[in-house]
Amino acid sequence: MSTAERPDATAGLVGRLSTLDRFLPVWIAVAMGVGLFAGRAVPGLDTALNAVSVDGISLPIAAGLLIMMYPVLAKVRYDRVDTVTGDRRLLWSSLTLNWVIGPALMFALAWLLLPDLPEYRTGLIIVGLARCIAMVIIWNDLACGDREAAAVLVALNSVFQVLMFGVLGWFYLAVLPGWLGLAQTDLAVSGWQITKSVLIFLGVPLTAGFLTRYLGERAKGRQWYETRFLPRIGPFALYGLLFTIVVLFALQGDQIADRPVDVLRIALPLLVYFAVMWGGGYAFGKAIGLGYERTTALAFTAAGNNFELAIAVAIATYGATSGQALAGVVGPLIEVPVLIGLVYVSLALRRRFTRPSPDSVTPRP
**At 54, is the secondary structure helix, strand, or coil?**
strand
Residue 274 has, within 13 A of its CA and on its CB side, a CA count of 22
pLDDT of residue 274: 93
Give the pLDDT of residue 354. Answer: 52
In a domain, 189, yes or no: yes
Name the residue with higher pLDDT: 71 or 25: 71
Structurally, the chain folds into a number of domains equal to 1
How many Å apart are CA 249 and CA 92, to the nearest integer? 36
How confident is the model at residue 365, as a pLDDT? Answer: 52
30 in a structural domain: no
Does residue 312 fall inside a structural domain? yes
Q: Return the pLDDT at 24.
A: 73
Residue whose C-alpha is closest to residue 316's, from 196, 134, 187, 202:
187
Residue 8 has a pLDDT of: 42
Q: Which residues 6+ apart lie within 8 Å of 7 measured at CB?
A: 1, 13, 16, 17, 144, 347, 363
37 lies in a domain? no
Which residues are 159's β-sheet partners? none
Say if 296 falls within a structural domain: yes
Cβ neighbours of 248 (radius 10 Å): 24
Q: Is 58 helix (H, G, I), strand (E, B) or coil?
A: strand
pTM as predicted = 0.78
Domain assignment present for 246:
no
SS3 content of the chain, % helix, strand, coil (to 5): 75, 0, 20
Identity of the residue numbered 252: Q
Contact 69, 205 (CB under 8 A): yes
**Which residues constitute the domain of residue 103?**
53-236+259-350
Distances (CA, A) of 247 to 32, 135, 304, 330: 9, 15, 19, 13
Kindly state whether residue 28 falls inside one of the protein's structural domains. no
User: Does some domain include residue 276?
Assistant: yes
d(CA 287, CA 94): 13
What are the residues whose beta carbons fall under 8 Å from the beta carbon of 53, sequence distance 6 or more? 59, 62
Predicted confidence at residue 134, as pLDDT, reads 67
pLDDT value of position 72: 80
CA angle 121–195–93, rounded 5-degree value = 70
Kindly report the number of other CB atoms within 10 A of residue 103's CB atom.
24
CB atoms < 10 A from the CB of 221, how many?
12
- Whether residue 11 has pLDDT greater than 60: no
Grade residue 228 by pLDDT with cuts at 50, 70 and 90. Answer: very high
Residue 7, helix vs strand vs coil = coil
**pLDDT tens column, 14-67:** 444 556 666 777 888 888 889 888 888 888 887 788 777 766 677 888 888 888
Q: Tens digits of per-residue pLDDT, 128-182?
A: 988 877 678 888 988 999 989 988 898 888 888 888 888 898 899 989 999 999 9
Number of H helices, E strands in the chain: 22, 2
The crossing angle, in degrees rounded to 10, of helices 323-349 and 307-318 is: 170
Report the residue count for the chain.
365
pLDDT of residue 12: 44
CATH number at residue 228: 1.20.1530.20
Distances (CA, A) of 185 to 107, 118, 337: 13, 9, 31
